[in-house]
A and B are shown apart, each in its own frame.
Chain A
């Protein structure tokens, strides 16, 4: 088959020594930064964007593949070993993994998470390899109106399904779309919303917005209510050779596979990201387990399943990103920024014009997964040390990197000012419960959406019905309605489920005032 030849060629590139080094560095840095508390995958990728200023495209994308998988995995170590509730995406892993660690089974929890991530990541990457060329082939024939439909799907699902409140998500999306408008219109060279200011006439750089929201805004948000005092890391006692017992393996392998089966499809459709996948996997494992009473008290299935689902979803997200150019999560949006830094536009054309690059990237996902498991099993001691970094230095370092990344963009001081302003906006958005991911997705997809919309309207001589009458576009809007309805229903169930779970095991995952 043709794509297999291309994949083999991709491996030939990715396995060259210098690219192996980049893959290794990417996984190492991605995991290290992902392990650091308070830094999610989106912030990891955003903070490391300055790498794109200096590397060649293949090296940079291979590094980012490593960073992406490493950052996705790193969070689970944090939630298992740190004695404080974790971020929402890993909340269910936090319950079981944290309990296991407290019982002295932290090593087993880390091992099942690592091996599960490897299994899920590899199977999902196979899925990506099979699915992506087919989708890209199909997408070649889509017209502007069809793309408008796809982008509207991305807008509405990201706005409505990420975060806890639909209007707040849509408002965040709107702000992102607005920021994307600022600057000079590419088709007619008209200034829009620049207030006559010169630095704004080229538009606001998406890197500044991503780093400002995820690094500066997040740091301010944490700084305002920083947990002072000692850092409570649960020690991992046993050596890594005796990590998982026979019964641990027996209880883990099915959840790994089920988690993959749940995570990958959910990752490929825009349904709210890995969050939903981990929840569904947890609920499934709890229902199927023969050790129901252990759930909430450290059941290994409750780590193995959701952790695999999380990683499989991460690979699934790459399918629409690579084949259609549609990011469905904040992390994917920032990876798209990395592509655009090189003038590359993911989508069907990329598969046709740059097959070597695309397949080297896919091959490096396999390689990255192998490196990830080789690194993670023996290096846990190092990750534990990272968890103990004094927080003042950690957050000072994040700000230092953010400011460096902003300045190095154009070597202009005004960029740091824009970074600071976006950071303050990000702080208030977080403080008042607005998700920031839709803003980033809106800002990056807005200009693309506008281009397709105007193309479609020009073709139809301004007739708006052109957007709905073509069979593909019409189907897409029906799918959109189903996605949103299904997504919101799942979200409601998840919230109830988590509340019931919290109550039943009496763990203060959320503070009392919130429940």
Chain B
């Protein structure tokens, strides 16, 4: 899967030294092309039981063709200078530059949440998620973010686990509350 990415992005840098080359856009389109190649190669590894007409490979073949065809079309468009049109939104500052650090913090918070949930329970892990994300997005008082997060996650825990019976883990700190229900 990796060879085509390295090969063509190297070529793109060589032929277009212009700093305005949309590198990210190209890399993403190439990844999609790689996905198409992966899908097509994968078709031949699917086992077709003997005697089956219109078996499990018919549709994957069709999907691979759509993926490859449209990925090539996007690549051609990007290389010919047709840039992506991105959506605006009410809360988006059109002049702002992409803040990768904030994205990393948020993704980190989600990963921390999934690592913590089985150890400390649903509500505490959700509190951490809420608090870290709010802090990453610039909440003025970071401790308040954790307090609000705790309240929201306790409400969810009590309503969905306590009253409606979903088996969300209570965790060691809140185990006593779980026994109430």
Q: Which residues of A contact B (CB under 8 A)?
A: 37-38, 50, 53-54, 78-79, 82, 84-88, 164-168, 170-171, 173-175, 177-178, 181, 185, 187-188, 190-193, 216, 219-228, 390-393, 395-397, 399-400, 403-404, 407-408, 411, 413, 416-417, 419-420, 423-424, 427-428, 430-434, 446, 449-450, 453-454, 457-458, 461-462, 510-511, 514
CA distance A244 to B152 in the complex (A): 39
- CB-CB under 8 A from A190, the residues of chain B are 46-49, 56
Confirm or deny: B129 has a beta carbon within 8 angstroms of a beta carbon on chain A. yes
User: Do the beta carbons of B56 and A187 come within 8 Å of each other?
Assistant: yes
Instruction: Specify which chain B residues have a CB less than 8 angstroms from the CB of A400 in the assembled complex.
Output: 126, 129-130, 133, 149, 152-153, 156
The answer on a CB contact under 8 Å between B91 and A178 is no
Of B35, B92, B140, which contacts A226 at CB under 8 A? B92
Q: Which residues of A contact B160 (CB under 8 A)?
A: 50, 54, 404, 408
A397 to B152 Cα, complex, angstroms: 8
Which residues does chain B contribute within 8 Å of A462, judged by CB atoms? 53-54
**CB atoms of A222 and B103 under 8 A apart:** no
| Chain B residues, Cβ within 8 Å of A38 | 89-91
When chains A and B are docked, how far (Å) is the Cα of A392 from the Cα of B149? 11
Evaluate contact between B59 and A181: CB separation under 8 angstroms: yes
Kindly state the separation between the CA atoms of A417 and B87 in the bound complex, as whole angstroms.
26
Residue contact B86 to A433, C-beta cutoff 8 Å: yes
- Complex CA–CA separation, A144 to B129 (angstroms): 47
**Are A222's CB and B126's CB within 8 A?**
no
Given A396-B134, A461-B53, do A178 and B67 touch, yes or no (CB 8 Å)? Answer: yes
- Alpha-carbon separation in the docked complex, A434 to B78 (Å): 13
CB distance from A49 to the nearest CB of B (A): 13
CA distance A6 to B118 in the complex (A): 48
Q: How far is the CA of A275 from the CA of B100 in the complex (A)?
A: 31
Is B136 positioned at the interface, with any CB of A under 8 Å from its CB?
A: yes
Binds A, one of B10-18, B24-32, B170-178: B24-32
Chain B residue at smallest Cβ distance from A404: B156
Determine if B134 and A430 form an interchain contact, defined as CB atoms under 8 angstroms apart. no
Interface membership of chain B positions 151-165, coded 1 if the CB is closer than 8 angstroms to chain A and 0 otherwise: 011001000100011
Residue pairs across A and B with Cβ atoms less than 8 A apart, 9 shown, are: A54-B165, A171-B67, A185-B56, A192-B56, A223-B103, A224-B102, A226-B96, A403-B113, A514-B85
Docked CA distance A77–B1 (Å): 47
CB of A411, distance to nearest CB on chain B (Å): 6
What is the CB-to-nearest-CB distance from B104 to chain A, in angstroms, rounded to a whole number? 10
Task: Report Cα–Cα, A79/B130, bound state, in Å.
Answer: 27
Q: Indicate if the CB atoms of B54 and A225 lie closer than 8 Å.
A: no
Which of A191, A420, A433 is B114 in contact with, Cβ under 8 Å?
A420
A84-B90, A178-B39 given; 5 more Cβ-contact pairs under 8 Å: A185-B46, A187-B56, A391-B91, A432-B29, A457-B54
Min CB distance B55 to A, Å, is 6
Choose from B54, B74, B102, B137 the contact partner of A167 (Cβ within 8 Å): B74
**Which residues of chain A come closer than 8 Å to B8, judged between CB atoms?**
none
Q: Does the CB pair A433–B39 fall under 8 Å?
A: no
Identify whether the interface residues of A are mostly helix, strand, loop, or mixed.
helix
User: With A and B bound together, what is the CA distance between A191 and B164 in angstroms?
Assistant: 36
B103 to chain A, nearest CB (A): 6
* Least distance between B22 CB and chain A CB atoms (Å): 8
Specify which chain A residues have a CB less than 8 angstroms from the CB of B149 in the assembled complex: 396, 400
B residues within 8 Å of A by Cβ?
A: 24-25, 28-29, 32, 35-36, 39, 42, 46-49, 52-56, 58-60, 62-63, 66-67, 69-71, 73-74, 77, 82-100, 102-103, 106-107, 109-111, 113-115, 117-118, 122, 126, 129-131, 133-140, 145, 148-149, 152-153, 156, 160, 164-168
**Contact status of A227 and B77, CB under 8 A, knowing A54-B164, A168-B84:** no
Contact in complex: B134, A181 (CB < 8 Å): no
A143 to B100, CA, bound (A): 51
Q: Using Cβ atoms and an 8 Å threshold, which residues of chain A touch B118?
A: 413
Q: Considering only CB atoms, which chain B residue lies closest to A193 in the complex? A: B42
Partner of A188, one of B49, B82, B133: B49
Residues of A within 8 A of B100 (CB): 224
**In the assembled complex, which residues on chain B have CB atoms less than 8 Å from the CB atom of A84?**
90-91
Asked if A420 and B110 make an inter-chain contact with CB atoms under 8 angstroms apart, the answer reads yes
A463 to chain B, nearest CB (A): 10
B91 touching A403, Cβ below 8 Å: no
Residues of A within 8 A of B133 (CB): 392, 395-396, 399-400
User: In the complex, are the beta carbons of B59 and A449 less than 8 A apart?
Assistant: yes
In the complex the two chains form, what is the Cα distance from A453 to B160 in whole Å?
41
Contact indicator A392/B49 (Cβ below 8 Å): no
Separation of A86 and B89 alpha carbons in the complex (Å): 6
B126 pairs with A175, CB closer than 8 A: no
Q: A37-B91, A224-B103, A407-B117 are in contact. Are A178 and B86 (CB under 8 A)?
A: no
**Complex CA distance for A37 and B92, rounded to whole angstroms:** 10
Given A38-B89, A432-B28, A453-B59, is A511 in contact with B94 using a C-beta cutoff of 8 Å? yes
- A413 CA to B36 CA in the complex, in Å? 29
A91 and chain B: residue at smallest CB distance:
B88
**B74 and A171 form a contact (CB under 8 A):** yes
Residues of A within 8 A of B166 (CB): 53-54, 408, 411
Please name the residue on chain A nearest to B118 by beta carbon.
A413
